[in-house]
Amino acid sequence: MKMAKLVVLGIIISLLSCKNETKEVSSSEKIEFASKQLNAWFQKSFEEDLKASPMMQTYLGKKTEDYGKWDDISEAQVLKDHEKSQKRVAYLNDSVNIKHLDEPTLLSYKLAKEDLENKISDFKYRFHNYPVNQMHGHQSRTPAFLINMHTVSNKSHAEAYISRLKGIKPLFSQLVDQLKIREEKGILPPKFVFNKVINDSKNIISGVPFDNSNKESTLLEDFKKKIVTLKLSDPEKNSLIEKAKTALLNSVKPAYAALIKCLKAQQIKATNEDGVWKFPNGEAFYNNALQRTTTTKMTAYEIHELGLTEVERIHNEMRDIMKKVKFKGTLQAFFKFMKDDQQFYYPETEAGKKAYLDEAVSLINTMKSKLDELFITKPKADIKVKAVEPFREKSAGKAFYQRGTPDGKRPGIYYANLYDMKSMPIYQMEALAYHEGIPGHHMQRSIAQELENIPMFRKLGSYTAYTEGWGLYNELLPKEIGLYSDPYSDFGRLAMELWRACRLVVDTGIHAKKWTREDGINYYTKNTPNSTSDAVKMVERHIVMASQATAYKIGMNKILELREHAKKALGKRFDIREFHDTVLTNGAVPLTVLEELVQKWIASKA
């Protein structure tokens, strides 16, 4: 009897066990199915957006039937995109059960939903910007895109280039419409912007075929350079060149003429008021912009005070450098010495500019050889160093990075602006190369787009506090493995960090405290060793890109804070390479999400 009961009990336990196994499998299958379904939706949404953006297709190295087209920047398209965002967020809210998502897909869900909700919330501020300014805008972006992104390896690519030249006229018609909408709403750039962008525009329509000068125009020169290697007969090449000239005269020239006419009319109405406080609901817009840029809830006042504190700390570290090099005098006198002494500058010659670029390549190559000490995951894509093109060097920033294509066929590019060699001191070369190149932007952006098993929107995503925080963090990182052996280069590193700390003060000063352009310039020239031309460019950047420059220092500080927290929590188990992998292998994320990822990594090591 006992045995019979035990047998029955065994059968019951076995059945219950099977039942539980079935439940587990069912739950696992649900998670797999729901995650696959949502990732397929992410891919479909990405492909929808990609199809609507011929320019993004080109950035990604895709040569489709749209290779000769531009993006639609009309207000009608803006409204369509807004409606699309609303439909997508409704789908995420109503059709996705987040309990059935695996961990990576849940993170993708959260990032996508937050991004869409932010876009919808920010729609009311869509005119609170300057589509044409000295930092960016179609007046410079369009030719830069053709020169740097539109590659030509056969006749159809050359014809697509010509098609894009023809398309500049309708594109700029939409651009002028956007400028006029803002004018009606009282949103105009300050006066100083206009001469810069008008001159940049005039540069594009100067030279052959626009005039009888001895020099070819920027775009004709680029086009001819690109078709010279094609396996075409001379008559075929000449025919293409003639078609390009016709497009330049019939589309590009009138497009820029119409833009210049619009800008000159607006210039008369523009004022010298610099901050976005002058916009309708300007204060609310700026507070919102700070939250989007920093991915924190820090107020303008808190950011301003952080900047002041950081400036004081870095000044003290600079005084330590002064002692090392046995400089007698004040910090201000040391700044003047660093600004004026010719030993710190390459000559303002072609040979001097080549020497700068060669040294930048050497610095990046040296850092490449040390990556194994700091990183597990490294990028497959290569990087090139290039001078900013003459047509935009007067107004462009001192250095920036352009990501390569995901397939690695077009490398990432570190641009150095060599227009004014006095703005590119030798002692800042290391920090710039590490920030823009390796291990800074090139590593972060290349690794992100080479990641597997995450949606494309995350591979290509960008949160300024994360990406620029990573860049600035990587100005410091090489020092920790023995680079910056020259104290002057270490001063240059501190000078770059100081520059970013001052940004916190000046950006909030201009947009929240109603500082003038001159107030901002004076703050930089008094508190940094940088040239006056650097200070002018930076302040003018603050003015047209409200909040953007606050991201660097806030992002760097957060990464350092998380690293120190991990070191304390893990002790001897802390591995700098694993920490960097945690930061890099999820793509760009808000700082709040980065903190969650680091906490999970720490917990996994316990």
DSSP string spanning 420-434? -GGGS-GGGHHHHHH
What average pLDDT does range 228-247 have in this prediction?
97
Residue 27 has a pLDDT of 86
Q: What is the pLDDT of residues 281-308, one digit of tens each?
A: 999 999 999 999 999 999 999 999 999 9
Percent of the chain predicted with pLDDT > 70: 96
- For residue 416, give the H/E element and its range: strand 412-416
Both tokens assigned to 505: 């003060």
Residue 99 has a pLDDT of 95
Q: What is the pLDDT of residues 80-94, one digit of tens each?
A: 999 999 999 999 999
Residue 26 has a pLDDT of 61
Cis before 439 (ω within 30): yes
Alpha helix locations (H) across 295-396?
A: 300-324, 331-340, 350-368
Q: 267 Cβ partners below 8 Å, 6+ apart?
A: 191, 194, 195, 198
Per-residue pLDDT for 19 more than 50?
A: no
Q: What is the pLDDT of residues 263-275, one digit of tens each?
A: 999 999 999 999 9
What average pLDDT does range 145-165 have in this prediction?
97
CA 101 centroid distance within chain:
30
What average pLDDT does range 254-281 have in this prediction?
97
Per-residue pLDDT for 490 more than 90?
A: yes
Q: What is the pLDDT of residues 344-362, one digit of tens each?
A: 999 999 999 999 999 999 9
Q: What is the pLDDT of residues 531-541, one digit of tens each?
A: 888 899 899 99
| Rounded Cα gap, residues 159 and 232, in angstroms | 13
Per-residue pLDDT for 209 more than 90?
A: yes
SS3 341: coil
